[in-house]
Chain A
Amino acid sequence: MTTADREHGNEHMDGPGTLDTGRSIFSGVLVGIGVAGFVDETIFHQVLHWHHFYDRSTPTVGLVSDGIFHAGSWFAVVTGLVLFADLRRKHAWSKPRWWGGWLLGLGGFQLYDGTIQHKWWGLHQIRYHVSIWPYDTVWNVLAVIAILIGVALLVRARRPEPAAATR
């Protein structure tokens, strides 16, 4: 069915299609959250063993938040990619908005993880038995940079829109 769709892709008058800006951002945000969650789990928990599975100091609210983001990031990466495929199929994908959303999702998750989960609730630390502040600083500064670039991309993507709409 999908191949049939693609074969008929450019026959009709809807040509490049109307860009679905909202869904492009949403799809990017989802994949960004998913990638951040995935990197957190594979690199920091499994490969480097920097993070700990459980830290004695974790309060219940931290466990719940951890559970939501853990389950949410799997859900986000799969549904985000399928939304992406759907946008491409409909020729409605807006590249700058998608990447803007992606950076926003990635940075937002990392900042939330690095401040509220790691620091406030003390879910676990980035690394143990070392001086922690350089890790925290790099972690959170990178997150803020990602968010800022994401916002900049989204703002810039908005600007040419009135011109394109009137054509």
Chain B
Amino acid sequence: VLLAHGAVDSSGLTQLVPALPLLIAGALYLFAYRRVSRQRVGWPFARLACFLGGVVAVAVALLPPLAAHDEAFPVHVVQHLLLAMTAPLLLALSAPVTLALRTLPRRRRRILTAVLHARPLRVLTHPIPAALLDFVPLYLLYLTPLYGYTLTHPVAHEVLHAHFLLAGCLFASATVGVDPLPGRASVRVRGAVIVLAFAAHATISKAVYAAGPGAAGAPDSSLHEWQLGAQIMWYGGDAVELLLVIAFALQWYRLEGKRYARSRQSRASASRDPVSSGSPPTPADVR
């Protein structure tokens, strides 16, 4: 896997190595989906579609033809958008952990729960550390010679791709993930982090445009290519941000709807039978 990238003349077969774990992941989710679908409480098809979409996004980023040309900056930026933003968003909306908890045998389920509650993961899945882990390296990557280093060192290149995907998944699950997290941040904190994180992304995109390829240690890249890449980063970031914010807002809308329906119900039963009802009276609305 590690040597598959960067070298243009590597054989076609090694370039296909990333397909293997992706196929396994897709097959596992499908298998679990079929098992859960037979249970009393099913599993939304949309989540399956999100997971498969996420796997496809990773595949497009890591397999040829894209991966064979990723020494070009615009191609690298498309990979960045797919690996660090699009795929994580889709994966976070597919609730893979919940699906695993519903299908794993009891002992393994307990192990998974213990891992999820482990302190380091609890810290990392808070939106603020997750966003810092996602966007500070981005600054270092494109505005210091780090990017040039990843172009000449295949291992660093692979590590970068893995970082994109993992940090992106942390950020997406901390902000819009459907899986239950221990100690999930409030809707205000998550909203503020979303704005600031995408502001950082937009700022870095423009700074990259302004600084040019020299600052990133990639003097071989032409200025035109570099500026094209920066603009893809800016506008592509918009597209993913829009999707993420829609998911965030609709999740709140649905939750607020449930809360509202519940308050109406308790209010209705209180007005029908104010003595026996356990819910507190609502003085403001009952005239």
Specify which chain B residues have a CB less than 8 angstroms from the CB of A90 in the assembled complex. Answer: 260
A60 to B53, CA, bound (A): 37
Interface residues on A, range: 20 to 34
Q: Tell me if B134 is interfacial: C-beta within 8 Å of chain A.
A: no
Q: Tell me if A78 is interfacial: C-beta within 8 Å of chain B.
A: yes
A81 to B242, CA, bound (A): 13
Could you say which of B34-42, B121-129, B198-206 contacts chain A? B198-206
Specify which chain A residues have a CB less than 8 angstroms from the CB of B257 in the assembled complex. Answer: 1-2, 5, 86, 89
A86 to B268, CA, bound (A): 20
Specify which chain A residues have a CB less than 8 angstroms from the CB of B206 in the assembled complex. Answer: 53-54, 58, 63, 66-67
A68 to B206, CA, bound (A): 12
Classify the interface of chain B: helix, strand, loop or mixed.
Answer: helix
The answer on a CB contact under 8 Å between A82 and B253 is yes
Given contacts A63-B206, A67-B200, contact A85 B253 (CB under 8 A): yes
Q: Tell me if A12 is interfacial: C-beta within 8 Å of chain B.
A: yes
Q: Tell me if A13 is interfacial: C-beta within 8 Å of chain B.
A: yes
Interface residues on B, range: 35 or more
The answer on a CB contact under 8 Å between B285 and A18 is yes
Classify the interface of chain A: helix, strand, loop or mixed.
Answer: helix
A13 to B284, CA, bound (A): 12
Specify which chain B residues have a CB less than 8 angstroms from the CB of A63 in the assembled complex. Answer: 203, 206-207, 210
* Nearest opposing residue in chain B for A76, CB measure: B195
Given contacts A13-B286, A14-B267, contact A72 B258 (CB under 8 A): no
Interface residues of A (CB under 8 A from B): 1-2, 4-5, 8, 11-14, 18, 53-54, 58, 60, 63-64, 66-68, 70-72, 74-75, 78-79, 81-82, 85-86, 89-90
Would you list the 9 A-B pairs with minimal beta carbon distance, nearest first? A67-B203, A71-B198, A67-B202, A82-B249, A71-B199, A68-B199, A67-B199, A78-B245, A70-B202
